[in-house]
Amino acid sequence: RIGKVVLTNGKLSLKKKFKKVECMKCNRGLHPLDVNIHKKYHCGKEKEKHKWILGNNGKARCLKCKRLMNSTSIEFHVKFLCGKIVPSMQCFYCPKIWSDFKSTIMHMGKAHNKSHYYEDLMSILPEAKDIASVPRSTSQASSKPEVIKHPFIYQPPIKKRRVSGKRKPLNSPDCLRFPTGEDFYACFYCGKRYKAGFKTLEHMLDIHNKQHHLYDLLQSKMQGSSK
C-alpha cells in the first residue's frame, strides 16, 4: 500500500493508493479487496453478481438496498442480511446465544479473545430465508427466527478477569478466554497461518484445491490444544 499527500479544501491529507493484484485467470488488475469476489463470481462460474456492482477502491454497492460497502462484505450482505430473516446465533466458545451475527462476533472477541468475521460464517450457515416469504398473517411466535447452534463448543481455558470492577465466577462465560497467541488458524497442508478463518479456507481451496468449512478449523484447534 502506498499513498500521496493531496490538498483538499485547503487541508493536506494522505490519499491511500493500493497496488493492484493480477487475477491469475484473466490477468485483470484488481484492488486487493476485490480479488476474492472477482475470482468467485466475476471471473468464475457462480452467478450472483447481478445482485451487486463493484465500484472503485475496493467498494461494492448492493443493488437492492443501494448500500455501499467493502467488496469483501458484499456477498455476506446479499446472502444473509439484506431483506433476509436474521437468525440468532450461539457462540462457538460458550453456550451464550445472541440475536444477530454482529453481537455474536463482538462477544467472541471481547469475552473469549477470538477474532471472527462475517465471511467466517458463510461456510456453516444454512440458506437464509427472505423476509418477504413470511406471510403477514403469520403469528409472532411462529415467525420467530431460528437459532443457529453448533455441533460442539470449543471451550477455552479458564482464566480470571475482572468485568466492570467485579470478579465473576470462574465458570462464567466471560472468564473463558484464549491466550492472544492462539488467535490464528493454520493451513492443514502447508502450515501457513492466517488470523481470519475465511482466509485460511480460501487459501486451502485456491492453493491446495481442498474445500473445508469453519467447523473443520475449530476442531483442528481443539485437537491441537488437547495434546
Which pLDDT value is given to residue 43? Answer: 72
Which pLDDT value is given to residue 166? Answer: 52
pLDDT tens for residues 146-191? Answer: 899 999 999 887 665 545 455 555 455 555 789 888 899 999 999 9
The grid coordinates of residue 6 equal: 493531496
Which pLDDT value is given to residue 38? Answer: 76
DSSP string for residues in the chain: -EEEEEEETTEEEEEEEPPPEE-TTT--EE-GGGHHHIIIIISSS---GGGEEE-STTEEEETTT--EEETTTHHHIIIIITTB-PPEEE-SSSS-EESSHHHHHHHHHHHH-----HHHHTTTPPPPPBGGGS-TTS-TTTTPPPEE--S---PPPB---EETTEEPPTTSGGGB---GGG--EE-TTT--EESSHHHHHHHHHHHH-----HHHHHHHHHHHHT-
Which pLDDT value is given to residue 157? Answer: 78
Q: Using the structure block, give the residue that is written with the C-alpha cell 479473545.
A: 113
Which pLDDT value is given to residue 37? Answer: 74
Domain boundaries, the chain: 20-84, 86-129+144-157, 184-214
Average pLDDT, the chain: 81
Q: Which of 74-88, 138-152, 164-178 has the lowest mean pLDDT?
A: 164-178
The grid coordinates of residue 19 equal: 497496488
Residues of 139-153 as b/e, b for ≥16 C-beta within 10 angstroms? eeeeeeeeebeeeeb
Which pLDDT value is given to residue 94? Answer: 93
pLDDT tens for residues 14-55? Answer: 455 667 788 777 777 777 777 777 777 767 555 555 788 888
